[in-house]
Structure 1
Amino acid sequence: MHRPAQRDQRDQREQRPARRGPRLNRLLVCAAAVPVVLVTAGCSSDSGSGGDAKPQESSTSPGESASANTVRPAAYAKLPAACAVLPGKTLEELVPKGAKSGKEGRSEDTATRASCSWSSLQNNGIKGSQFRWLNVSLLRFESDATRGEGDKLARAYYAKQVREARSVPDAQNTRSEPVAGTGDEATAVRYDLKKKEGAFKQQTVVARVENVVITLDYNGAGLAGDKTPNADDLTKAAEKAVKDAVAAVSAANGEGGGAGTPPAASPSKGASATKSPSPSASESAAKSASPTASSGTGKS
């Protein structure tokens, strides 16, 4: 009984390796097959070719990436001739002795920036004389993918022009007020300037219509003993002139009526260079128009 039991145990020990052999082989085969499955699954996931796989949807539509770099085109594509923005009647009121003396400022691109100035000296004999100087500057902004839309650029420049007009050195009695019914927005700034030639009354009216900014500088003085002009009268005349300029810009782009018939004489070219419709440019034009008139806005 003892030997059969030992033999049975030996037989069991001898049989165990035989049974483990096929199991180990199966494990090795399965282990070898695992990387193949993983590689196949990885490729299927990347290519999206699996039966239930769906392609990832982009968070932006195809058109959004293109439109992100585009801006709305500017409303106005050109400017009117600077010396023709005001009708003859308006010029005769503002510069009675200089309605035909318009001098166009130099510009490399008159479709983008333009200006014109007039001066008037009315001699009243022993009473002295009345001096008037007028300058109209126009600046048009194009829409740009980097800088933004034209009307927004014009709005920023408009605000800058108003701030500068309000902060002229040595200005006295500065006042500003909005001008109703003039383009999209308009502001009139007026102040007094004491010069050796006399007391000058300065009016600067800034207006914006779409992507165009108009800066009108108008000043007057009584020289050689003549009386100082009334500031209210000068401001009303300047505001009227700005309305004409706004209408001329709209008409040049096919909207509304024009500013009217310009003066008969053609303006002469080659006045002082106008880099931008700024008060400093206005001062340069004023000095070139009359050696006695250092009456511009006086910006540094």
Structure 2
Amino acid sequence: MHRSASRLTRVLACAAVPVILTVAGCSSDSGKDSGSGGAKKPSASSSAKPSAKASAALEKAAFATLPDPCKSIQAKTVETVVPEAKDKNGTATKSNDLTTRASCSWNGLDEDGLKGSQYRWLSISLVRYESHASLGSANKRAEDQYNKQVETAKAAEGAHDVKAEQAGGIGDQATSVVYGVKKDVDFFNTTIVARTQNVVITLDYNGAAYEGAGAPDQAKLLENAIAAAKEAVASVAAANEQQKQPEQQASPSAQ
């Protein structure tokens, strides 16, 4: 009887071992899932950290080309702004890439006999920027250049009585800089710096009187400069619309 009881005790003890091992195994597997074994779950810090290869996408430049600078303002505007222009078609500056940088200028001397002569000079410069991974977006690059051009105008050599102010209604942002320069006669200068998207336009306009003629009206010079600058801004948009039309005609229509 004693021997049978002892044997029964040993059987029950052995039967209990697999149960303990199973429980222990489950506990161990659970630990592997959450720790060093099996597939690891990404930590909050690692999942929130962006990939080293990821970079912010740069915006596409709004304008892909520039207009002919000598046609960026209307012929009738040239006649008004530069009376008796030597070349009404303007003189273009050479450029390696006219879609990126272009400029044109006009000058003329309007003689009025004993009343003297009026001299006028107009120059329009256009610079276009593309988005660049290391230099920034096209618009930001253009904005930086816009600010530099304004400061350059205010620091013109020999300038006196400099007055700079915002010029509304010209592109995305514009500034007029008015000043005088003493040469053989008094020159009155107006510079309009404007930005339209990724293009910067710098318009320089000045006038002087000779042989006893009355000094140029500075307010009128500014008015003419603003009118010409608005046309130049509009010509940028028009040139890019013209470029899009052939591309749209060449590409198949969306189904």
| Distance in 1 separating the partners of 2:120 and 2:75 | 16
Structure 2 counterpart of 1:130, from 105, 113, 118: 118
C-alpha contact 2:181 2:189 (8 A) present in aligned 1: yes
What amino acid maps onto 2:204 in structure 1?
D
Q: 1:75 to 1:61 in 2, by over 3 A?
A: farther
Whichever of the two has the greater Rg, that structure is: 1
What amino acid maps onto 1:152 in structure 2?
K
The alignment status of 1:243 with 2:230, answered yes or no, reads yes
C-alpha contact 1:82 1:116 (8 A) present in aligned 2: yes
Query: Percent identity, aligned pairs only?
Result: 46
The alignment status of 1:216 with 2:190, answered yes or no, reads no
Q: Secondary structure at the match of 1:248?
A: helix
Structure 2 counterpart of 1:201, from 188, 193, 201: 188
C-alpha contact 1:173 1:191 (8 A) present in aligned 2: yes
Which position in structure 2 is the counterpart of 1:27? none
| Distance in 1 separating the partners of 2:37 and 2:161 | 81
C-alpha contact 1:174 1:189 (8 A) present in aligned 2: yes
The alignment status of 1:178 with 2:145, answered yes or no, reads no
Q: How many residues align?
A: 208
The alignment status of 1:120 with 2:87, answered yes or no, reads no
The alignment status of 1:75 with 2:58, answered yes or no, reads no
Which position in structure 2 is the counterpart of 1:149? 137
Which position in structure 2 is the counterpart of 1:292? none
Which position in structure 2 is the counterpart of 1:106? 94
Q: 1:60 to 1:110 in 2, by over 3 A?
A: farther
User: What does the per-residue CA deviation read over 1:253-292, in whole Å, with 9 as the maximum and x for residues that have no partner?
Assistant: 129xxxxxxxxxxxxxxxxxxxxxxxxxxxxxxxxxxxxx
| Distance in 2 separating the partners of 1:151 and 1:83 | 24
Query: How many angstroms does 1:127 deviate by?
Result: 2.5
C-alpha contact 1:69 1:145 (8 A) present in aligned 2: no
Q: TM-score, structure 1 length as denominator?
A: 0.65
C-alpha contact 2:70 2:89 (8 A) present in aligned 1: no
User: What does the per-residue CA deviation read over 1:208-242, in whole Å, with 9 as the maximum and x for residues that have no partner?
Assistant: 00010000000001112211110000000000100
C-alpha contact 2:91 2:105 (8 A) present in aligned 1: yes
Structure 2 counterpart of 1:91, from 72, 78, 84: 78
Q: Secondary structure at the match of 1:204?
A: strand
Q: 1:151 to 1:240 in 2, by over 3 A?
A: same
User: What does the per-residue CA deviation read over 1:165-216, in whole Å, with 9 as the maximum and x for residues that have no partner?
Assistant: 11223212111111111100000001111111x1111000000000100000
Query: How many angstroms does 1:129 deviate by?
Result: 1.0
C-alpha contact 1:221 1:229 (8 A) present in aligned 2: yes
Matches within 5 A, 1:240-279: 240-254=227-241
C-alpha contact 1:101 1:119 (8 A) present in aligned 2: no
Q: Secondary structure at the match of 1:253?
A: helix
Name structure 2 gaps, 5 residues minimum: 1-31, 243-255
Q: TM-score, structure 2 length as denominator?
A: 0.75
Q: Secondary structure at the match of 1:246?
A: helix
Q: 1:226 to 1:67 in 2, by over 3 A?
A: farther
What amino acid maps onto 1:54 in structure 2?
K
Coordinate RMSD, CA, aligned: 2.3
| Distance in 1 separating the partners of 2:236 and 2:213 | 37
Deviating beyond 3 angstroms after TM superposition, the runs of 4 or more aligned structure 1 residues are 48-51, 55-62, 64-67
| Distance in 2 separating the partners of 1:202 and 1:133 | 9
| Distance in 2 separating the partners of 1:141 and 1:190 | 27
